[in-house]
């Protein structure tokens, strides 16, 4: 009987030890779960703050985009119509604003937009542009006919000068035409240079 009692006490102590270990494990896991819940709440709060900041930035970006669109519309809207005299590098050219503003988003659409007040020569009312007047002849011819004369296309130096002026006046169509001539097949190399390579 004594041995049964000792065996029973040993079993109870083992149960108590197992129970204490199980309680510690459960307590540890509950603490870990509690920490996970706290971390999830912090992440949720941070996500809410980020969402608020992003919404504010989106509203600001939308407002800025509207302002830029308004500026772009003003720049694209010509406030001057009809005939105009240009003094380009000392040479006078008579044309119309519609011809000069045929291509959008160029020097001329900005120049004749309602954004700028034009300074005119008090004697003849011309608008001075400090660029090469001889090359401007071809710029104006391009704007009128949407083409470049063959004699210009065959003259490499004239083509390069016209390209520089086309960049200044931001005439994309002209630059596209000249790029095909100056850089055939999208390269700086001439055919004989390609063969040497």
Average pLDDT score over residue span 161-183: 90
Domain boundaries, the chain: 1-76, 83-196
Residues in the chain, total: 197
Predicted local confidence at residue 163, as pLDDT: 94
Let me know: does 178 contact 148? Beta carbons within 8 Å: yes
Write down the pTM of the prediction: 0.54
Class of domain 83-196: alpha beta
Q: Evaluate the CA torsion angle 131, 133, 137, 143 in order and state its sign.
A: positive
Closest of 125, 129, 118, 127 to residue 169, by C-alpha: 129
Return the pLDDT at 8: 82
The two most distant CA atoms of the chain are separated, in Å, by 134
Q: DSSP E strands: which ranges in the chain?
A: 83-88, 91-96, 127-129
* Separation of alpha carbons 188 and 196, rounded Å: 14
Instruction: Looking at mean pLDDT, say which of 50-54, 109-113, 166-170, 177-181 comes out highest.
Output: 166-170
Q: What pLDDT, in 10s, does the model give residues 23-80?
A: 998 989 989 989 999 999 998 899 999 998 888 888 888 888 888 777 666 555 555 5
Q: Per-residue pLDDT tens for 121-168?
A: 899 989 999 999 999 999 999 999 999 988 989 998 999 999 999 999
Task: Determine the pLDDT at residue 110.
Answer: 84
Question: Tokens representing 50?
Answer: 């980020």
User: Contact at 8 Å (CB) between 127 and 84?
Assistant: yes
Distance (Å, whole) CA 122 – CA 97: 19
């Amino acid at each position: 009987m004594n041995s049964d009692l000792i065996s029973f006490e040993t079993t109870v102590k083992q149960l108590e030890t197992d129970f204490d270990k199980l309680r510690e494990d459960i307590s540890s896991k509950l603490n870990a779960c509690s920490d996970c819940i706290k971390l999830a709440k912090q992440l949720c709060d941070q996500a809410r703050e980020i969402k608020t900041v992003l919404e504010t930035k989106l509203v600001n970006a939308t407002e800025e985009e509207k302002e830029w669109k308004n500026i772009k519309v003003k720049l694209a809207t010509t406030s001057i119509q009809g005939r105009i005299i240009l003094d380009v590098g000392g040479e006078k050219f008579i044309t119309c604003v519609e011809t000069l503003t045929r291509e959008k988003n160029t020097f001329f659409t900005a120049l004749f937009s309602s954004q700028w007040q034009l300074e005119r020569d008090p004697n003849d009312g011309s608008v001075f542009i400090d660029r090469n007047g001889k090359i401007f002849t071809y710029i104006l011819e391009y704007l009128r006919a949407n083409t470049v004369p063959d004699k210009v296309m065959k003259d490499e130096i004239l083509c390069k000068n016209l390209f520089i002026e086309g960049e200044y006046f931001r005439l994309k169509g002209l630059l596209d035409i000249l790029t095909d001539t100056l850089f055939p097949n999208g390269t700086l190399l001439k055919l004989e240079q390609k063969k040497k390579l």
